[in-house]
Amino acid sequence: MNQMMTTTVVMGGLAPQPTMSHDEALVEAHRCLMCWDAPCTRACPTTIDVPGFIKRIANDDLLGSARTILESNILGASCARVCPTEVLCAGACVLNDLHERPIDIGRLQAYATDDVVFGDIELSVESVQSGASVGVVGAGPAGLSCGAELAKLGHAVVLYDARRQPGGLNTYGVANYKMDMATSLREVEFVQGLGVEIRTSTAVGTDVSVGQLSADHDALFLGVGLGSVPPLGLPGEDLGGVGDALDFIADVRAGKVDLVGERVAVIGGGNTAIDAVSQASRLGAERVYLVYRRDRDEMKAYPHDIERALSSGVEFIHWSAPIRIEGEGSVSALVCERTEYSSDGDLVSVPDSEYRIPVTMVLRATGQEKRVGFLDQFDGVETDHGGRVVVDDAFRTGNPGIWAGGDCVNGGKEVVNAVAHGKAAAMSIDAALRAAAGK
Ligand SMILES: Cc1cc2nc3c(=O)[nH]c(=O)nc-3n(C[C@H](O)[C@H](O)[C@H](O)COP(=O)(O)OP(=O)(O)OC[C@H]3O[C@@H](n4cnc5c(N)ncnc54)[C@H](O)[C@@H]3O)c2cc1C
């Protein structure tokens, strides 16, 4: 049972283009002030030692730098690409206070991790096999992070995912211009190299029962994320060309979408809406509209992503709510009415303000539904009034053998938050398994 195991991960070939040249990275690394209290580290949900990894880049110790990052965040390579660094680590950089450009932490992090995660530099991990087995539902960032940490701690780990490919929204949801599907899948291979088994096309509750899962494993982690964007209940929503913005992004990532000559309207004001309009405009759509019922400063999407969408030609239509979709067989127009705040502060429609936007495609990006029905199958796992899984500080649910993390717990945040949850849950699962085994 207590067998010592050394896992060596070697990834060859197919490395993506380096995100920074060696000289560029050295110059940028030497700009870092190496602050002792590192506000950048405190701003990172996975508390990566940012000055530490940058110092190692400056000293030309790339493996040491990658190790520093990956010890805190096993998905450090994808976080380097998808994290909203402007509001996290780089947003906290003290150079901002000195009216200087903050350190480009995201690109330095990609530079440091690329050769280990996608290239041929080896990362050795030594672990003592515990003999315990953990089942992880969902191979998205939360599940991958939890699984990788548990594997490093010597536990056997099986990840189950309903989709054909692992990686969750890193593979299917995040916009292509931040990270493509191939990069996400390469990072998953790196995690598998740590000893994590992944069973794809295996939906828990359908292909494998909850009872079977509980019988097969000593502990469970739920990293099931959120569901699809539900219909808005608008007349005409069943017309061809109307759909879920998440399915659209997944199709774009699979190379299945041609938008030349299309006029696309995306309904919503969050990150999904912004990613969908940005993708649509980059794919050559004739006109791309973002339709949102409130003002720009009330949008949940990040300001830098909003600016990027605006600069790529997306037309923002504020103070507008859709009331029906018109067309014969397929959509020809989105009909909206104007909105405003009443004197009581409620959002109301403006009388007689109806107008039509001629479009050939309408995408809903109005919020993903929670997986409450699925979660109800697990005894003792409770959800709050918003459909989020209730967990304690160690990410343990009301069932002492089940932990949860990621979007299904926080209702939808960032990849780095899901990674942080997975890591914290893994530490708690490890402690519980060792306590149960009297170790
Ligand atoms: C359009 C969009 C763009 C985004 N862009 C960014 C970004 O740029 N940067 C950023 O940091 N974050 C971004 N996010 C948020 C980020 O993607 C999520 O916070 C993160 O993926 C959450 O990870 P997770 O593992 O909790 O869930 P997910 O990534 O959703 O993974 C959950 C996994 O569980 C699987 N699953 C569900 N039910 C079952 C079942 N019954 N059996 C087996 N498997 C199951 C699913 O197939 C999925 O693979 C974006 C989100 C969206 C929707």
| Rounded CA separation 321/361 (Å) | 16
Q: CA-based angle 303:304:310, to the nearest 5? A: 90
Question: How far is the centre of ligand 1, averaged over its atoms, from the C-alpha of 80 (Å)?
Answer: 17
| Rounded CA separation 279/109 (Å) | 25
Residue range 252-310, pLDDT digits in tens: 988 899 898 999 999 999 999 999 999 999 999 999 999 999 999 999 999 989 999 99
Which of 159, 174, 206 has most ligand 1 atoms within 8 Å of its beta carbon, as the pocket-test mutant?
174
For residue 438, the model assigns a pLDDT of 84
Closest CA to ligand 1's atom 4: 174
Q: Between the CA of residue 213 and those of 175, 199, 210, 374, what are the distances in Å?
A: 33, 13, 5, 14
- Ligand 1 atom with the smallest distance to the CA of 276 is 1
Question: How far is the centre of ligand 1, averaged over its atoms, from the C-alpha of 174 (Å)?
Answer: 9
Residue range 112-151, pLDDT digits in tens: 999 999 987 777 778 889 999 999 999 999 999 999 999 9
Q: What is the pLDDT averaged over residues 198-215?
A: 97
Q: Between the CA of residue 77 and those of 97, 166, 183, 249, what are the distances in Å?
A: 28, 16, 9, 21
Which of 169, 178, 375, 413 has most ligand 1 atoms within 8 Å of its beta carbon, as the pocket-test mutant?
169
- Residues in the ligand 1 pocket, defined by CB under 6 Å: 82-83, 137-143, 160-163, 168-170, 173-174, 178, 203-205, 223-225, 246, 249, 271-272, 275, 374, 406-407, 412-416, 418
The amino acid occupying position 435 is: A
- Tokens 């992944």 belong to 198
Q: What is the mean pLDDT of the chain?
A: 93
Question: Domains of the chain, with CATH numbers?
Answer: 17-117 (1.10.1060.10), 128-227+369-436 (3.50.50.60), 242-364 (3.50.50.60)
| DSSP for 269-315, written as a single string | SSHHHHHHHHHHHHTTBSEEEEE-SS-GGG--S-HHHHHHHHHTTPE
Confidence of residue 3 (pLDDT cuts 50, 70, 90): very low
- Tokens 């295996």 belong to 202
Above pLDDT 70, what percent of the chain?
Answer: 96
Q: What is the pLDDT averaged over residues 167-175?
A: 95
| Rounded CA separation 337/350 (Å) | 7
